[in-house]
Amino acid sequence: SDVYKRQTQSTWGADVTPESQQAWVAKAAAEARATSYNAKKKAYAQLTLNEEKTEVKKEESGHDTLFTLLNQKLTSLRAELAPGEEEKMFFGESEKTRPFVPFVKKLGFPVEEHQITTEDGYILTFHRIQSKHQRTFQSKPVVYLQHGLLDSSDTWIVNEEDKAPALILAEKGFDVWCGNIRGNKYSSGHTVLDPSSHEYWQFTWQHMAQYDLPAAFAFIAKVTGRKINYIGHSQGTLIMFAALSEQNQVVVNNLQSFIALGPVVFLDKISSKFLKLVAGTNIGDVLVWLGIDNFLSPTFITSPAFAMFCGMLPDFCIDLTQLVSDSDPLLDNVKRAAIIAGHFPSGTSTLNILHFRQMVLAEKRTLLKYDYGTAKNLEVYGQPEPPEYDITKIAQKVHLFVGSSDELATSEDAKAVYERLPNATYNEYNLGHATFMWGKSAAYFDNVVKVLHDQNDEPKPKSNKFLS
């Protein structure tokens, strides 16, 4: 994995030889055979880690013999473990970085992975789950969960099982689809463009609204034959507001309900440290100067360019997860912090960050498409200024779920959204921006489920072992 590859250089060092690695392998294997279960566990984890490291070294230096030796030693150690010990060790050591599919499989949920291609060629990965221990997927009311800025489908499952929104919904009897927007760690493909190219990253959230949402709605509706209950968080709400303000017909025709968690349209009253830093510094210029087209993707975080970036803007790189996510330790589940940090951030384009910067710096509460500058605006939009998304044109009912402690989607800005929407409900709770997914409590989610039940004839409410 990328994590192990990153650790290889610092742990083995540049001067590693086949002989030194052989000696370490022999010693670790001997210790494992002679010690108790706890010591075995530690040695096993070390061997598993160095199996990955050696595979990397093998690719670099052709040490096939060493790789074979290590594999034999590891196989021998595995044979001495009691039934279930290896699985227990493996999951316990990898939960922080385990991808969506094996993560939910371990919990007993059936899961499917789907690739969806947008009209402009981006390949999106979506994850689908239903209630535990089913052998086949069944026809149920559909909920599509769309993550926020820099996030991924993982965000809906990484909290404790009784607090993770996707897992709660699946157990409540819904057909749950967790989306991944273009450019994040799961959705980095394209039919033509190379993800390492400059051209691939020329998108912002307006392109997600224009292309990603319609592609997802068309695909999910075709597979399920049902209308879609959409739950967005942060940027996930923003792209739906944009799509509905333009009355995108694919989205409109397949939409059952829209629930907005931490709704983002205006960023006038933010106290978000991350967006204040983005708006108040030359972060965009630094990224452009360094030639960085993707922002906080897993590959970017481990790159030399990121080290240079942190040298120029050290405040940004201190406690990165809390800064970028606007998590609140008083409200969020700090017991899961290490696991959450293993799944977040998941990346986006630099251009998208610049679009958010544009939103923060807007002189009045308007939601505009990306401002390329007069010349390119004329080319792209046919006018010198970027067009406005007019949310007063949204005819569909919108259910706003607002956090009174949310520093990014503040209650002041959310109330301004509520006042402009023709048909909306307003629900406010003591939540931060990330609390909607990562909170110590998921009590607010009872009301989300109630909205879904009110919008759908089924499923009938059943006892909720999580939220009772």
The active-site residue, picked from 154, 175, 406, 413, is 406
CA distances from 335 to 158, 320, 330, 440 (A): 11, 17, 12, 9
What φ, ψ does residue 259 adopt, rounded to 5°?
A: -115, 125
Q: Using the Cα atoms of residue 195, residue 197, residue 202 and residue 207 in order, give the sign of their dihedral.
A: negative
Question: Residue 32: how many CA atoms within 13 Å on its side-chain side?
Answer: 24
In the structure encoding, which two tokens stand for residue 213, read together?
A: 């949402």
> Can 433 be counted among the known catalytic residues?
yes
**285 contacts: CB under 8 Å, gap ≥ 6:** none
> Can 390 be counted among the known catalytic residues?
no
The active-site residue, picked from 147, 355, 399, 433, is 433
As a whole number of angstroms, the distance between CA 406 and CA 254 comes to 30
> Can 349 be counted among the known catalytic residues?
no
As a whole number of angstroms, the distance between CA 64 and CA 51 comes to 12
SS (H, E, C) the chain: CHHHHHHHHHHHCCCCCHHHHHHHHHHHHHHHHHCCHHHHHHHHHHHHHHHHHHHHHHHHHCCHHHHHHHHHHHHHHHHHCCCCHHHHHHHHHHCCCCCHHHHHHHCCCCEEEEEEECCCCEEEEEEEECCCCCCCCCCCCEEEEECCCCCCHHHHCCCCCCCCHHHHHHHCCCEEEEECCCCCCCCCEECCCCCCCCHHHCCCHHHHHHHHHHHHHHHHHHHHCCCEEEEEECHHHHHHHHHHHCCCHHHHHHEEEEEEECCCCCCCCCCCHHHHHHHHCCHHHHHHHCCCCEECCHHHHCCHHHHHHHHHCHHHHCCHHHHHHCCCCCCECHHHHHHHHCCCCCCEEHHHHHHHHHHHHCCCCCEECCCCCHHHHHHHHCCCCCCEECHHHCCCCEEEEEECCCCCCCHHHHHHHHHHCCCEEEEEECCCCCHHHHECCCCCHHHHHHHHHHHCCCCCCCCCCCCC
The active-site residue, picked from 94, 153, 188, 234, is 234
Enzyme catalytic residues: 234, 406, 433
